[in-house]
Amino acid sequence: MVAPDPAPTPATPRWAAVVVAVLALALASVVAVVGTVAIRRPPPPRPSAVATAAPLPPPAPPASAVEPAPREASSGAAPPIAVRSLADDARAAEPGPDADAILPIDAGRPVVGSPSASVTLAVFADLECPHTRATLRELPELRARHGARLRIAWFDRPLAGHPNAHAAARVGRGIARDRGAPAFFRYVERLLDAGEAADRGALERAAAGAGAVAGDTTRYLADPSLAERVDRDDALGKRLGVRETPALLANGLRVDGHRDAESLTWLLRAEADTTRFARAAGGAVAASYARRVEANLIGVGEAGPLRVCVAPSELPRRGAPRGLTITLLTTYGCESCRQADAIASALERRRPDEVGTTLAFLPAPPGAGLAASVVRAVARRDAGRAWSVHARLVQAADLGEPALERALRDAGIEPAPVLTEARAAAAADRDAEAELARELGVRGAPVLLVEGRLVSPTAEVAGAVLDEERARAVGPRERYAAACAAR
């Protein structure tokens, strides 16, 4: 690994300390009570030289906090993601308000995605850096995971310790200027596919693969306007304290070092939904990127808490039909899930005319069997009785089919057709649960959200957040529903 550019380590800005402290506290609280099992743990990140990284999903909880799980929680696997080349959706940024942002998406910059995307991921890259190359290989999957919610914007940050990085950046910018953003990303892909050092021969081969003709590489390397463009990005990166690559900024929320697509999922999903929430509150779409960057990067304006929209399962909303929303991501056969369900119920009872709960299922631990599929099947047949069956199953220690039959009979439901339907749907249900966990980047249940805000599933913390949301000057009662309905 080549050492990062020598530069004084910048003082940690006020916004970073606040964001990291507050969100790390919330996430750490979740870790302390998370039940069930790990879904898939991402590799540990490379240490960063700059202490301004944005919070990522919590690590797997300690063994003492996890219920015993001798085998995988679910035999279902999330369906494969259809990954496309970045070149397929690439474009040159057009003139607009984003060009005046602190982290400018100026005209001609290679981007993937639309300016209306909820989150823009600025990638500061060095094409000779192995860590940058590893992250670039993850970007197509990241784009596939987040779709229209995500825009990717390219920024050059060639490090002084990589002798060919500046030349590689200049050739790339020349291709972008002459042949467009799709050709630029094909050039990047050719460099990654070749696995070569970015020497002159490698640059010429990659440029040819992107449509360049003989002499183009020489012309680009001698063009002072391309060097100036690369230097402008480089200077911006230095002002932001980017001393090593890659550096990723999601609407200004920063992550240093290589991360795989899965480890970035929660951050991007939460920032995208938070931006959508701000738009639902009346913020202009055209100005949302600049405002989020100002709030996240330098603390100008109110960044607000990160929020996540989660589509509920087939169960109807419990409690008040409109108003503040508690979202419980849960499963059965999980003691901490029972506690979280009791907390949600208690919060509903505190404010019965203002609070409702929606439910979504995460992968179940061993022994939970068909429980979640049974509740789904009941909801499809008789939505009014689904919560009654849920209340019985969430307290049940035995979730075998005889126990499921008893729970159904106690709720006044004939078991046989429901169990038949549940068995037929079980594989698809497990896939859906695994996909939700993957999409959110969570590793176990329960997860409790209040108006989309991740909170510790304790009565004190959840109640305090609920009161805070209720007391906001502009009531959030319809904003969250409107924002999540627009997903």
55, pLDDT greater than 80 = no
394: nearest Cα among 319, 457, 342? 342
Strand partners, 449: 327, 454
250: nearest Cα among 233, 265, 271? 271
pLDDT number for residue 12: 40
pLDDT number for residue 345: 93
Quickly count: other Cβ atoms within 10 Å of residue 281's Cβ. 16
pLDDT number for residue 312: 77
Q: What's the whole-number mean pLDDT along residues 3-22?
A: 43
For 391, the token pair is: 């209340």
pTM here is 0.67
pLDDT number for residue 180: 96
For 134, the token pair is: 């590893």
469, pLDDT greater than 90 = no
44, pLDDT greater than 50 = no
Least confident of 51-55, 211-215, 417-421, 451-455: 51-55
254, pLDDT greater than 60 = yes
pLDDT number for residue 43: 32
Q: How many helices (H) and strands (E) does the chain have?
A: 16, 11
Look at 335 and 70; give whichever has higher pLDDT: 335
Tell me the CATH class for 318-485.
Answer: alpha beta
Query: Domain 86-298 in CATH: superfamily?
Result: Glutaredoxin (3.40.30.10)
Question: pLDDT tens, 76-114?
Answer: 444 556 778 999 999 999 999 999 999 999 999 999 999
Q: Please indicate whether the domains covering 86-298 and 318-485 agree at the CATH topology level.
A: yes
Look at 47 and 107; give whichever has higher pLDDT: 107
Q: List the chain domain ranges.
A: 86-298, 318-485
